[in-house]
C-alpha cells in the first residue's frame, strides 16, 4: 500500500499518465490497482516502472519510515515544551515531499497541537474540524490524541467564559482511554478543566498525578505548572498553613530561576501576590505584584494585568499618596486604551472614582457599567468582588429590592478569588 502511494506521488509529480508509464511493461489496470493498494506487482515489473520514473523505491520506503520517528519526536518535543526542537522538527517534516495516508492523521493532529502551542486557536479549530470530517475512523492512539487536543482547545478558547464550558472540556478529556493513549500528560489538562469548573478536589487529584508523571519523565517545566495548579486549589485558611503555602511558592520561584523559566516565575510572583491580597496583607501583595511587573514586557497584556493588581493593592492598602495614586490610575487608563482592554478600562475607572471619593458616582458606575460588563464577559471573580460591594451599598440605603435582585444573580457563583490567578499554562 505504501509503495503504491509513493509510486503515485512521483508519477503525478512528473506529469506522467498511467497509460504512458505502463507502455511495453504492463496494462494500465495493474498500475491503477497498485497505486490503490489492491495488488502487489512482481519484482520485475516494479523494477521496470521505477526505472522509468527514475526513483529508488527502497530508498523512498526508508525515508517514509523516518517520518514516523520524526512525528513521535515532534510529539515528545511539544509535550516537553522544547520550543527549539519543536520548530526544527516542524521544518524537517515540511521538507518531506509527501505525507502518505498511514501518517496523515498523526501529522494533522500534531500540527493542531503545534498551533495550540503557538496560541493560534483559529488554525487549531480548522484542523480539528478537517480531521473529524476527513477521517471518519481513527486508530486508537489518534482517536485519543484528537480528544486530548479538543479538550485543550476548549480550555484555551473558553478561558474567560463560564464554568459550563470548562465542564465541556472535562467531559471530552474524560473520554480518553489511557491504556490506548499512554500519555499521562493529559492528567494536567484534566486538572485544568476541573480547576476552571471549580472542582477543586478533582483538580488537585489530577494535578498530583500529572506532577508525578512530569517528574518521572524529567519534564521539570511542566512539573512546575502542575505544582502551581496544586497550590491554586488551596482556597481557605483551613486548607493549608499560610506560611507553608508561601514557602511552597518561593521554592517554585527558585526552581524557575534554576531552569531559566522566567515567564513561569513571573506568573508565580503574581499568584503569590494574590494570596497576600486575599488575606488583606496589601503591602506584601504589592511587593510581589511589583516584582512580577518589573520584569514583564511593557508591551504585553500581562503587563497591564499585573499593573492593575499592583495599583489595586496600593489603593486598598493606602500605600501611595492620593496624588501619586491618581497619577498611576491615569496611566492605567491610558494603557487599557492602548491594549484595547475594556475590562481593565472599567477596573481603572472604578479606582479613579474611588480615589476621588465620589461615593454616589462610584456606585452608579458600578451598577450601570461594571457589574453588567463583568456578567456579560463572565469575569466571575470581578463580578463577585464588586457585586458584594454593590449589595452592601443597597442594603445600607435600604434599597432591598435592588439588593435581592443582585443577590439572585450571584446564585450558583462559587468563586472566592478576589483577583484572578494567572493561568500556569501560559
Q: Give 215-270 pLDDT, tens digit per residue.
A: 999 999 999 999 999 999 986 656 678 999 999 999 999 999 999 999 999 999 99
- Distance of alpha carbon 307 from the chain centroid: 23
Residues 101-155: tens digit of each pLDDT:
678 899 999 999 999 999 999 999 999 999 999 888 899 999 999 999 999 999 8
Q: With a cut of 90, say whether residue 100 has pLDDT above it.
A: no
Cα Rg, the chain, nearest whole Å: 28
Q: What is the pLDDT of residues 367-379, one digit of tens each?
A: 999 999 988 887 7
Give a three-class secondary structure readout of 178-205: HHHHCCCCHHHHHHHHHHHCCCHHHHHH
pLDDT category of residue 425 using cuts at 50, 70 and 90 = low
Where is pLDDT greater, at 203 or 422? Answer: 203
pLDDT tens per residue, range 57-95: 777 777 777 888 899 999 999 999 999 999 999 998 887
- Rounded to an integer, the average pLDDT of 183-206 is 94
> What SS3 string covers the chain?
CHHHHHHHHHHHHCCCCHHHHHCCCCCHHHHHHHHCCCCCCCHHHHHHHHHHHCCCHHHHHHHHHHHHHHHHHHHHHHHHCCHHHHHHHHHHHHHCCCCCHHHHHHHHHHHHHHHHHCCCHHHHHHHHHHHHHHCCCCCHHHHHHHHHHHHHHHHHHCCCCCHHHHHHHHHHHCCCCHHHHCCCCHHHHHHHHHHHCCCHHHHHHHHHHHHHHHHHCCCHHHHHHHHHHHHCCCCCCCCCCHHHHHHHHHHHHHHHHHHCCHHHHHHHHHHHHHHHHHCCCHHHHHHHHHHHHHCCCCCCHHHHHHHHHHHHHHHHCCCCCHHHHHHHHHHHHHHHHHCCCHHHHHHHHHHHHHHCCCHHHHHHHHHHHHHHHHHHCCCHHHHHHHHHHHHHHHHHHCCHHHHHHHHHHHCCCCCCCCCCCCCCCC
Cell numbers of 152, please?
Answer: 485543550
User: What's domain 2-55's superfamily in CATH?
Assistant: lambda repressor-like DNA-binding domains (1.10.260.40)
What whole-number percentage of the chain has pLDDT above 70? Answer: 91
Q: Residue ranges per domain, the chain?
A: 2-55
Q: Is 182 left (phi over 0), alpha (psi -120 to 50) or beta?
A: left
Q: What's residue 379's pLDDT? A: 78
Model pLDDT, residue 275: 93
Amino acid at each position: 500500500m505504501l509503495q503504491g502511494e509513493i509510486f503515485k506521488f512521483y508519477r503525478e509529480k512528473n506529469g506522467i499518465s498511467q497509460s504512458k508509464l505502463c507502455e511495453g511493461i504492463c496494462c494500465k489496470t495493474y498500475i491503477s490497482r497498485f497505486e490503490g493498494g489492491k495488488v502487489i506487482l512482481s519484482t520485475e515489473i516494479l523494477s521496470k516502472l521505477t526505472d522509468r520514473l527514475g526513483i529508488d523505491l527502497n530508498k523512498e520506503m526508508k525515508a517514509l519510515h523516518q517520518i514516523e520517528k520524526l512525528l513521535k519526536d515532534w510529539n515528545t518535543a511539544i509535550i516537553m515544551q522544547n520550543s527549539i526542537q519543536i520548530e526544527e522538527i516542524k521544518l524537517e517534516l515540511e521538507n518531506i515531499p509527501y505525507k502518505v495516508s498511514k501518517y496523515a492523521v498523526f501529522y494533522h493532529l500534531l500540527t493542531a497541537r503545534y498551533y495550540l502551542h503557538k496560541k493560534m486557536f483559529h488554525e487549531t479549530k480548522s484542523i480539528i474540524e478537517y480531521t473529524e470530517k476527513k477521517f471518519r475512523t481513527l486508530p486508537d492512539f489518534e482517536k485519543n490524541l484528537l480528544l486530548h487536543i479538543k479538550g485543550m482547545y476548549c480550555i484555551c478558547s473558553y478561558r474567560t467564559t463560564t464554568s459550563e464550558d470548562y465542564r465541556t472540556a472535562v467531559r471530552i478529556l474524560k473520554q480518553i482511554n489511557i491504556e490506548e493513549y499512554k500519555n499521562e500528560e493529559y492528567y494536567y489538562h484534566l486538572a485544568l478543566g476541573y480547576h476552571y469548573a471549580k472542582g477543586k478536589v478533582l483538580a488537585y487529584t489530577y494535578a498530583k498525578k500529572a506532577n508525578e508523571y512530569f517528574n518521572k519523565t524529567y519534564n521539570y517545566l511542566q512539573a512546575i505548572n502542575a505544582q502551581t495548579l496544586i497550590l491554586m486549589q488551596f482556597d481557605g485558611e483551613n486548607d493549608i498553613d499560610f506560611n507553608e503555602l508561601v514557602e511552597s511558592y518561593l521554592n517554585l520561584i527558585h526552581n524557575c530561576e534554576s531552569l531559566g523559566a522566567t515567564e513561569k516565575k513571573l506568573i508565580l510572583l503574581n499568584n503569590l501576590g494574590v494570596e497576600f491580597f486575599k488575606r488583606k496583607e496589601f503591602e506584601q501583595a504589592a511587593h510581589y505584584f511589583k516584582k512580577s511587573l518589573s520584569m514583564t514586557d511593557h508591551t504585553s497584556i500581562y503587563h497591564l494585568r499585573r499593573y492593575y493588581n499592583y495599583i489595586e493593592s496600593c489603593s486598598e492598602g493606602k500605600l501611595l499618596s492620593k496624588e501619586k495614586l491618581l497619577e498611576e490610575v491615569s496611566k492605567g487608563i491610558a494603557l487599557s486604551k492602548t491594549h484595547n482592554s475594556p475590562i481593565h478600562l472599567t477596573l481603572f475607572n472604578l479606582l479613579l472614582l474611588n480615589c476621588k471619593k465620589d461615593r454616589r458616582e462610584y456606585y452608579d458606575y458600578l451598577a450601570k457599567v461594571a457589574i453588567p460588563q463583568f456578567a456579560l464577559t463572565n469575569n466571575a471573580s470581578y463580578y463577585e468582588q464588586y457585586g458584594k460591594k454593590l449589595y452592601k451599598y443597597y442594603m445600607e440605603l435600604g434599597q432591598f429590592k435592588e439588593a435581592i435582585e443582585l443577590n439572585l444573580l450571584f446564585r450558583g457563583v462559587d468563586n472566592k478569588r478576589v483577583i484572578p490567578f494567572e493561568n500556569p499554562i501560559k
